[in-house]
Amino acid sequence: MYRLLGEIITILIVLSVLLAGIALAVSRISLNRHVWLAGFFAEVLDFFYLPLKFFFFKLSDTRILDKWMVSLKNIANQSAFTRTEKRMIIAPHCMRFLECPASSTRTGIQCVSCGKCVFSKLKEDAARYGYKLYIVTGSSFVKHVLKEEKYEGALLIACDYELNKVMMGLKGKDIVTYGIPMYSDGCFNTGVEYEKVLQALEMFSRNASN
């Protein structure tokens, strides 16, 4: 009996390692081209996230894992995001002007369009494409945002770790996410390639009208 149980556990472990390994390979490939079954493999990586994160921490960099997972989830979510109607943009406060004059509320920083950082333009473009912009000082602020309004889609701007974290957090709240990674991370003076933001806004605007 114990021998049979041990064999079953061994088989399950081997299959889990193989499945996680395949999912990792697919997520790596997704950085450069479209992959099939992206949603399934994204679910696999979410399930094995903690042991995989420990593995990457020991042998590489956990940011690589998050980057691969975000890429895979973007492919998996792109079609569903196109079908959403009420959308928001969630962006980190660390991209704002160091002496930002805006005040903070329970749903984030309230941009006053002073023109000293990227948020003045992002606020304008968000409104033009039908998004509500939220500038948050941490992922916990997203909870407050969701209490204020009901959204179907969330365009996220953040470092890969925060993107993956929020994507996992919103997965069970019927909100489709799409992430745009920043080119630098940290607590201040971070940034994003704004062209990628415009490309995402335009892509979903064009697809929604087709």
Digit-coded pLDDT (tens) for 156-166: 999 999 999 99
Radius of gyration of the chain (CA): 19
pTM equals 0.92
Q: Given a cut of 90, is residue 147 above it in pLDDT?
A: no
Long-range contacts formed by 168-172: CB under 8 A, 24+ apart: 168/46, 168/49, 169/139, 169/142, 170/142, 171/46
pLDDT (average), residues 77-88: 96
Residue 206 — pLDDT band, cuts 50, 70, 90?
Answer: low
Give the angle subtended at the CA of 204 by the CAs of 199 and 206, to the nearest 5°.
90
Reported as a single tens digit per residue, the pLDDT across 182-194 is: 988 777 778 899 9
pLDDT-above-70 percentage for the chain: 98
| Most confident of the following: 70-79, 145-154, 171-180 | 70-79
Question: What is the average pLDDT score of the chain?
Answer: 92
Q: Given a cut of 70, is residue 207 above it in pLDDT?
A: no
Give the angle subtended at the CA of 171 by the CAs of 27 and 18, to the nearest 5°.
35
Q: Given a cut of 60, is residue 209 above it in pLDDT?
A: no
Query: Hey, which residues does 105 pair with through a beta bridge?
Result: 108
Cβ pair 160, 181 in contact under 8 A: yes
Q: Given a cut of 90, is residue 140 above it in pLDDT?
A: no
pLDDT (average), residues 125-151: 89
- Tokens coding 44: 């696999």
Q: How far apart are CA 93 and CA 191, in angstroms?
A: 10
162 phi-psi bin (left φ>0, alpha ψ -120 to 50, beta other): alpha
Q: Strand, helix or coil at 109?
A: strand
Q: How far apart are CA 112 and CA 123, in angstroms?
A: 9
Residue 67 — pLDDT band, cuts 50, 70, 90?
Answer: very high
One-letter amino acid identity for 164?
A: N
Q: Given a cut of 60, is residue 168 above it in pLDDT?
A: yes
pLDDT (average), residues 128-135: 96
Cβ pair 162, 155 in contact under 8 A: no
Q: Given a cut of 80, is residue 138 above it in pLDDT?
A: no
Reported as a single tens digit per residue, the pLDDT across 85-105 is: 999 999 999 999 888 999 988
Long-range contacts formed by 63-66: CB under 8 A, 24+ apart: 63/159, 63/160, 63/161, 65/24, 66/160, 66/161, 66/163, 66/164
- Tokens coding 10: 């061994």
